[in-house]
Structure 1
Amino acid sequence: METANETLKTDFILLGLFPGIRHISILVFIILLIYTIAIAGNTTLILLIWVDPCLHTSMYFLLSQLSIIDLAFISSTVPKMAVNFFSGKRNISLIGCGTQIFFTLTLGIAECLLLTLMAYDRFVAICHPLKYPIIINYQVSQQMAIGSWVGGALASLVHTAYSMHFPLCGPRELHHFFCEVKAILKLSCEDISVYERGVVVTSIVVVLLPVSLILTSYTLIFLVVLRMNSPEGRNKALATCSSHLTVVTFYYGPAMLIYMRPGSSHTPILNQALFIFDTILTPMLNPLIYTLRNKEVVGALKKVLGRCTISK
């Protein structure tokens, strides 16, 4: 019993989704429904890109990597939240908390980097179509994907190790549904102002710089699109760009509000709402946006469904 009590003292307590809210079970079931749709949508998109030769291009390879990140991203938070809710146990071990921080940061930063590289991919494809097969070949697209994963993992490792070494005071209660860096830093006994400045610098590099590069890419793209004589080519370029821009808006909007707001405006309820949108809703919406607004993906889906119907 004493060993169990000592272990519990080192655990964190996740207070869960919006503590004190009525009918929380309805919200949990809605999130589980979103999780199911996200798993089905991203898995379907990955399989379509894998089985259809028409989608064996650099753009769709990067899109498949985005779906893998989204699958892992939503799976790093929702299952643990659901287990805690249905079991009534809200604790998470120190190692478990650190692991969750590492993976959520890795996947979040990797998605930021990948979305930026996808914007560059569209820039080269539309502004320099003749050079596109040379500049963005399959090997380069693989290097882009690997760079996103490695960059996310390295940045995450630094922040995870640094944030978890601070001594903590008082009850280890996190006003969140998963272990998140800023929620843990609020429990620190030490002055963390230096580290917070480091977080701001990282946010600028990971959020503002990619957004600037994405906006620059799309400004140049739209200037080229406006000069296109073919309505069909213009519509095709705008279709692929609009899907990516929608995904970028949905992802970067909440991310900027989470990490770029002044500390005084950080309330647990607002933070949770933003994280729900960024880590749960966005992974569900991304495959739907790309599937519904992309004729090539819709065509691949129809072919696969047609084969399944014929085989039956």
Structure 2
Amino acid sequence: MLCWRASYSHHARCVSEKLEQASERPLVVYAGIDPTAPSIHLGNLVILQSLLHFHIHGHTTIALMGGATGAIGDPSGRSTERRMLDENELAHNIESIEAQVRLFFERGARLARKRLAEQQQQQQLDVAGDEARVKVLNNHTWLGAMSALTLLGHVGRHMRVGSMLARDSVKSRLNTSQGISFTEFSYQLLQSYDFWHLFRHYNCRVQIGGSDQWGNITAGIDYIHRMQQASATAKPEAGIAGTSGPFGLTIPLLTTANGQKFGKSAGNAVWLNEKMTSYFDFYQV
């Protein structure tokens, strides 16, 4: 798996080394994409490649569109607040990105089949490209119907302000003149609930993200542990089925030669859309 592949071994970071043992059986793995633009970029591609590796090893992958969180804005890696998107723009972005994600997995599985056939390793990996193992979901499905009282009562109750303030994405903004809005500060609650929802309803055990997502991912893991403890206390005989995990895996960010991050936040994203980044510009990167 990715933690132990040579190209990632010195940089990938796992919340728990037990992930290697857990991955010996089929897992459900997810990564989120906030649709703040009508296309994915190279930074997203690194995460999608990670999902693809899980997919061709027989695991189920979920690409989660941030229909709700995209309207809020993730403060990670940003010095200013994101521009709010209207509903039509957000819907257009989601539609465009979903098409890109599905095409990526279709072509990725096809390429894996071809390469493995050349190496006569067809029997070692599951690269059938089974669409049932590639899911594209939208967190607006469950977050959009959640009231503020439910969010505060059922999610906020299990989150600790001290831990939230300690996240790098928050600390870096608190020390600036602009500060951080409550809207962006609450992003951790929404992403944590996403992981919990997928954990509970889709048996999802692993979240993948860029290294700047370490704080958000660990916040989700902490929230799941607290919900498990609350469930066990309320109904000791019930518990939560299949409680191995949760796990987190972060992948190093793509950077320029001088160490600057590639991405929307830095304003230098390399888009995987010929209308937004030409072929010439792409190959100059």
TM-score range, shorter chain: under 0.3
Higher helix share: 1
TM-score, scaled relative to structure 2: 0.26
Normalising by structure 1, we get a TM-score of 0.25
